[in-house]
Amino acid sequence: MQKDFRKDVMALLLGGASLAALFPGTAVAQDSEPAANESVGQDIVVTGSRVRGEAPVGATVIAVGRAEIENSPALTVDRIIKELPQNFDLGVSENSRAQAGGSGNIVFGNSVNLRGIGPYATLVVVDGHRVVNNSRSTDPSIIPTLGVERVEVVADGASAIYGSDAVAGVVNIIPRRNLDGGEAFARYGVSDSGDFTEYALGAAIGKVWDGGQVMVAYEHVDRSNLSGLDRDFFTSNQTPFGGRDYRVTRCAPGTLKADGTTYAMPDQLDQVGAASLVAGTRNLCDSNAGQDLVPAQSYNTVNATATFHLAPWLEVFADGFYSKRKFVRRSSYSSASITVPETNAFFVRPPGFTGSSYVIDYSFENDLPSNDSFGSAESWQITPGIRLNLGPWRVEGLVGVGKTRDISNSLNGLDNRDLATALANSDPATAFDPYGYGRTNQAVLDAISDQIFIAPTNGDLTAYEARADGPLFALPGGEVKLAAGLERQEFEVALGLARGAPGTEVQFREFGRRVNSAYGELFVPIFGPGNGRPGLERLELNAAVRYDDYSDVGSTTNPKFGINWEPVRGLKLRGSYGTSFRAPTIPEIYGNSNALFGQNYQNPDGGAPIVGFALSGPNLDLKPETAETWSIGADFDMIDRLRLSLTYFSVDYKNQVTANLSNLSILTRQQDYAGTGVILTGVDAQSRVADLLAQGIPNLAIPIPGGDPANVQLFIDGRSQNLGRSITRGMDFAALYSIDLSSADTLSLNLSGTYLFDYQEAVTASAEPVDQLNNIFLPLKFKARGSLTWERGPFTARFAATHVGGYTNNAVTPFEDVDSYTPIDLSLTWKAGDPYAAGFLEKGLSFTVEVRNLFDIDPPYVNLAPGGNGSGGYDATAANPIGRVIAVGVRKSF
């Protein structure tokens, strides 16, 4: 393990040529001193603690500040957070839906998945309070980058502070309250080959005065799609890359199967040409040709803040946002194994065939439009509050009211019934022609590609919070402080679905959830500035507990304890222990839909993907997940301009909800699921599918071969289930250093990352955990990011490198070693104006040129068949398929 660690670190250092860091300028915030630009005299409330003015005891805060946000090459807040090494791109991601939780991400959003523990195990809040979401996860892109002061991440169990979902940690998006003036920016980027573009425009204006502040920010972001046709590694025939041939026989022209014999069909086939058919041949083609690797996305976001001091003891405040994100994702063309009876008007009989029908493996790419997905994710919330300053005590109350309206549409699905009718029709005017002559009438084509799938999700949140904090009494080490509060959440969600012929009405299933919570947190400084001594310069203790009562899944109580010990100034030793929980989401309990989905599954033995059928539906017996978390660490700040931080963590996560609806590589773990009923093959699969069809459960996507359940070879129970347990242990590290090379030159170096020592996973609660560390689509051993920044007067140059260590692709046999991935970014910024100047023209003008993936490094080759939910020839969870992007930007203050 030590050898691998040294190898990974060396790869980062050499590959970056810049010695890299977490994110350009990202800092680990440990202290609670107010920032110099904090507005209107407010105390900073650091994420991870409810005690005002105190950082979380025993844990670190990873802070991405205003300067880092402005310097980031990412255009939206969710992508800024994606750069953090602690964040794994598994599950709820715009470019990969093939992991746990991904099946519900039909609007192609992004979430935060700290340490790969789960896409729903990290809580995202705004200014410390919960925000409305689609009942699954919160996409951080709901807030424009111009409206964000900083993003704080506590990668530590925080359910004792924030409640459900904070198993792996919490992300707090803190809106701006200190903007006095205005800002505007524009940026445009394009890939080398011009097949991907993006641009962003934004403006913010704010006013700060003695009695308060107001701020409003708006941004528009547009990113084009990236088609799989534009990347040669996204192909089914991967033999040129040293992989396998994953091509399928569902092609245009198709492959005819009669009496157990296959015949490769020519471009056009008639009875005369039938004599030329060669037995034992077949046509092979890509199964996902034309599919987008990255969907097209456009964002319009606005947020605002306001604070008013009505009296020395009274303040009112508010924050709010509105966001609408639209998406379009190009899908591959429909394909199927279609049964052609001899009654078909264009029927061609192969030589020697005496049967009444045969099967053609067929792609409709020359007949029907692709069944693309499009839709939007729209949400808004306003959270006003009142603050009473009662001497050293502060009392706050707030109410958050928000709505979300998500919808995903696809309008060109294959209508199996109309297709079967057209295939059996003896009238050329109403029959379907599968022989390549294009003789099918347009009205027939329209009828067999008219199946709609419309899935809206409506969410409504009303959240109430009341809290108080202040000192209880003084000890020689400082003031003992208490924070306590009550919260209530009222959440309504409506899961809608319209599936069938055009005009089918959306049917909604409506659910509600009520959560009542109470918490308390105590801060006790045993030693501090008033009584510090050698070996005990500072000793702080913290204890928190929270009780949550859910209307649908029961109640839970979770404590957390922390300790900070400074034996000498500049060296802090810390530790924390606590329990956390996550209530299953409403879609996990009741199902996004109740249907079978035909899908292509990665074949671990090689060859074409295996067609299987996965069940989506409710599981009313789901229970909350629980976790036990602890960490120990040290922060070193004894040398001027050098800061080091090291944290060892352990998360024992039990009763995990696992959903395999979108897990297209599940067959690699078939043995792990033995006895659970999640994976069935052969006769068991046929019986299960036949039973579900008899119950009226519809089959979507790929039709059953021949329309007969007896042809089914694989069944996957994709419903959410309390199956798993995982144990994650690892280390976070960070180093920040700056040096003045001369009176005009400053060099800054940042380095941060996560190294996992252990990731064990048990599919069932009774099974022994199995080592799954560094396997594909699971938490990887080593991730890091870094930057080297040179500042000379108005000029700034920054190199940044992101490193993902090599790992094992166990989705194939024999296993494949996947190379590490280290793209490097370069940005050059020239500040032409003085940010403190009074004149409009002179103030705060800067120009930036940046090159992302400077050396145009391709994603490491991964031996995977292209899948409808992401990846194929590369791993969408660990690498970026876009390649080099050149961007220019301008930013102006006024």
Give SS3 for 151: strand
Closest CA to 698 of 417, 409, 287, 505: 417
Beta carbons of 632 and 574 less than 8 angstroms apart: yes
Question: Would you give the end-to-end CA distance of the chain in angstroms?
Answer: 53
Neighbours of 505 (CB within 10 A): 9
Contact 741, 747 (CB under 8 A): yes
φ and ψ at 316, to 5 degrees?
-120, 150
Judge contact between 315 and 308, C-beta under 8 A.
yes
State how far the Cα of 61 lies from the Cα of 442, in Å rounded to an integer: 61
Rg of the chain taking only CA atoms, in angstroms: 29
**Tokens matching residue 513:** 């959830």
Consecutive H or E run containing 488: strand 478-500
Q: Following CA atoms 250, 256, 259, 260 in sequence, which dihedral angle do they give, to the nearest 10 degrees? A: -40
Contact 413, 451 (CB under 8 A): yes
Q: Give the number of C-alpha atoms closer than 13 A to the C-alpha of residue 743, restricted to the C-beta side.
A: 0
What residues have CB less than 8 Å from 199, skipping those under 6 apart? 186, 187, 188, 189, 221, 222
Burial 633-662 (b: 16+ CB within 10 A, else e): bebebeeeeebbbebbbbbbbbbbbbbbbb
The CATH number of 2-184+294-331+374-400+454-591+622-660+721-893 is 2.40.170.20
What gap in Å lies between CA 655 and CA 501, rounded to an integer? 40
- CA dist list (Å): 522 to 127, 453, 528, 629, 711: 21, 52, 16, 19, 63
What CA–CA distance (Å, rounded) separates 544 from 653? 20
Please, what are the averages of pLDDT over each run of 10 residues along the chain (894 residues)?
Answer: 44 38 37 39 68 91 92 93 91 79 83 90 95 90 97 94 93 96 97 96 97 98 97 94 93 95 97 96 93 96 98 97 97 93 97 95 96 96 97 97 96 93 97 97 96 95 97 96 98 93 94 97 96 96 98 95 97 97 91 85 84 91 94 95 96 90 84 87 94 88 79 91 90 96 93 96 82 94 96 95 96 94 97 68 86 96 90 94 97 93
Question: Please, how many CA atoms are within 13 Å of residue 721, restricted to the half-sphere of its CB?
Answer: 17
581 contact partners, CB below 8 Å, separation of at least 6: 159, 164, 167, 548, 556, 558, 624, 625, 626, 627
Rounded (10°) CA dihedral 646, 648, 654, 658: 50
Q: Are 128 and 46 in contact (CB under 8 A)?
A: no
Residue 23 CA neighbour count, 13 Å, CB half = 27
| Residues 410-441 as b or e (16 or more Cβ within 10 Å = b) | bbbbbbbebbbbbbbbeeeeebbbbbbeeebb
Query: Residue 599 has what pLDDT?
Result: 87
Q: Which residues pair with 491 in a beta bridge?
A: 461, 513
Residues 6+ apart with CB under 8 A from 719: 591, 615, 616, 617, 618, 619, 659, 661
DSSP state of 616: E
Enumerate residues 6+ apart whose C-beta is below 8 A from 150: 63, 64, 65, 66, 69, 174
- Find out whether 397 and 465 touch, Cβ atoms under 8 Å: yes
- Reading phi first (left if > 0) and then psi (alpha if -120 to 50, else beta), residue 498 is in beta
> Residue 533's pLDDT is what?
94
Q: Give the closest residue to 866 by CA, choosing from 664, 605, 716, 613.
A: 664
The 3-state DSSP class for residue 82 equals: helix
Give the pLDDT of residue 566. 97
Residue type, 151: V
Q: What is the pTM of this model?
A: 0.90
